């Protein structure tokens, strides 16, 4: 296959990943009306483990060093058990569009963590992108926080706090995973991150005596079908297409294209959740994505 075709394949996969994460946020937001954030995270992780394990059986596994196991374990607990739970808690208090826009702040956190822990040094363009991300998010957030609504400003502020905490944990998980993935495949590393993350979350639920109550809603066949669909979308549409994007095109190009996720959530939220899209929301999303692009290009 010509090089150009590989490049096009990688670009399409990266864009597909952005769409998948946007669709997954819509699907999980609807599931959240019937299941708790902790239950959604545990259900998502257990189903994801089955899917990833089946894929791993097809491609094979490689031995892992103690150092790899350590970093993947910490990455799973911080990035998946904590980060994804906080993300779902934010998602239950905010609309998917605002939650995903808040998640772009994690791109900024990742840059700073890479500077401190991995020795990376962003250029002037990357530094210029940071206020663009924060400004774009703040622009949309200010519109989405009216004085009176059915949830109230306090609940929205709680959602913003959980969203920022989720971004911090998820970014930390990615930095730790980067170290752990040095001598294993991305698929194998993802599987073990899921495994350790679910182990940590499961132990937390067991200690609190809430493990059964977290999973009880999924005894409903209708709800189970919905979470299976959501997990399929984010596991193979999100995780797998992300890896295809990185494999067949430049990492900076793939990351830029995947950062367009907030743009896809706008029409999806309008179609599936009947949310009104204002010019202000569109401008804020474009500014935030422009900031992410500046950061990725500046770092690269």
Report the pLDDT value the prediction gives residue 215, as an integer from 0 to 100.
83
Report the pLDDT value the prediction gives residue 218, as an integer from 0 to 100.
81
Q: pLDDT tier at 78 (50, 70, 90 boundaries)?
A: very high
What is the C-alpha to C-alpha distance for residues 36 and 34, in angstroms, rounded to an integer? 7
Choice between 50 and 41, residue whose per-residue pLDDT is larger: 50
Residue numbers of the domain that contains 276: 3-299
Residue 70 has pLDDT above 90, yes or no: yes
**Which of 26-30, 66-70, 85-89, 272-276 is the most confident on average?**
66-70
According to DSSP, residue 147 is labeled S
What is the C-alpha to C-alpha distance for residues 199 and 283, in angstroms, rounded to an integer? 41
Percentage with pLDDT > 70 across the chain: 84
Q: pLDDT tier at 151 (50, 70, 90 boundaries)?
A: low
According to DSSP, residue 35 is labeled S
Least confident piece of the model among 5-19, 29-43, 241-255: 241-255
Cβ 113 vs Cβ 167: under 8 Å: no
Q: pLDDT tier at 148 (50, 70, 90 boundaries)?
A: very low
Q: Mean pLDDT, to the nearest integer, of 270-288?
A: 77
**What is the total count of domains within the chain?**
1
What is the C-alpha to C-alpha distance for residues 150 and 130, in angstroms, rounded to an integer? 33
Report the pLDDT value the prediction gives residue 147, as an integer from 0 to 100.
43
* Span 90-114, pLDDT tens digits: 888 887 667 767 776 776 777 777 7
Q: pLDDT tier at 71 (50, 70, 90 boundaries)?
A: very high
Average pLDDT value for the chain:
79
Residue 233 has pLDDT above 70, yes or no: yes
Residue 122 has pLDDT above 70, yes or no: no
* Span 196-216, pLDDT tens digits: 988 988 888 888 888 888 888
Please enumerate in sequence order all residues whose Cβ is within 8 A of that of 86, keeping only pairs 6 or more positions apart, or say none: 162, 163, 165, 166, 169
Q: What is the largest CA-CA distance in the chain?
A: 57
């Amino acid at each position: 296959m010509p090089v150009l075709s590989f490049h096009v394949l990688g670009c399409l996969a990266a864009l597909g990943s952005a769409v998948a994460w946007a669709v997954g946020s819509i699907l999980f937001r609807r599931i959240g009306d019937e299941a708790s954030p902790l239950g959604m995270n545990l259900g998502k992780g257990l189903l994801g483990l089955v899917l990833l394990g089946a894929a791993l059986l097809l491609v094979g596994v490689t031995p892992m060093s103690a150092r790899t196991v350590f970093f993947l374990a910490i990455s799973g607990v911080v990035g998946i058990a904590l980060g994804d739970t906080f993300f779902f808690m934010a998602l239950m208090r905010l609309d998917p569009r605002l939650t995903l826009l808040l998640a772009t702040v994690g791109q900024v956190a990742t840059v700073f963590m890479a500077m401190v822990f991995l020795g990376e040094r962003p250029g002037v363009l990357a530094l210029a992108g940071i206020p663009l991300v924060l400004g774009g998010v703040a622009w949309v957030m200010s519109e989405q926080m009216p004085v009176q609504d059915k949830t109230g400003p306090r609940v929205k502020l709680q959602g913003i706090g959980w969203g920022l905490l989720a971004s911090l944990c998820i970014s930390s998980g990615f930095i730790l995973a980067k170290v752990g993935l040095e001598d294993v495949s991305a698929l194998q590393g993802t599987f073990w991150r899921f495994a350790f993350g679910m182990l940590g979350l499961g132990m937390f639920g067991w200690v609190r005596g809430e493990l059964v109550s977290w999973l009880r809603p999924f005894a409903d066949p209708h709800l189970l079908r919905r979470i299976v669909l959501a997990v399929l979308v984010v596991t193979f549409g999100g995780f797998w297409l992300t890896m295809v994007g990185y494999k067949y095109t430049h990492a900076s190009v793939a990351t830029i294209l995947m950062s367009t996720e907030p743009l896809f959530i706008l029409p999806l939220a309008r179609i599936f959740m009947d949310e009104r899209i204002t010019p202000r929301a569109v401008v804020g999303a474009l500014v935030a994505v422009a900031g992410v692009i500046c950061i990725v290009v500046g770092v690269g």
